[in-house]
Amino acid sequence: MKALQNFSDKYKLNFPLLSDPAHKMIESYGAWRGKKFMGRLFKGIIRCSFLIDTDGKIEEIWDPVKAKGHAAEVLARLQELA
């Protein structure tokens, strides 16, 4: 939690960051799954994004996500929905 707070403070975020150390939410969204790194298989968080409306409905899922250009892609989708 301290690391999240430091990150939020550093970048002056105007929204809360959430933590899920027990993986309950991550697993329910299907973002905790098998990964491979340097030939080793392990479980970890897959980089993905979910756009959720004010009623809690998932409007869009990006899976997997490449960081480069992703923010612009999400903003474009938000503009479509507005």
What does the pLDDT read at residue 76? 97
| Whether 52 contacts 74, CB under 8 Å | no
> What pLDDT, on a 0 to 100 scale, did the predictor assign at position 41?
96
pLDDT at residue 17 greater than cutoff 90: yes
SS3 54: coil
pLDDT digits (tens, 9 = 90+) for 55-72: 999 999 999 999 999 999
pLDDT at 1: 84
Using DSSP's 3-state secondary structure scheme, residue 58 falls into strand
- Residue range 20-66, pLDDT digits in tens: 999 999 999 999 999 999 999 999 999 999 999 999 999 999 999 99
Identity of residue 39: G
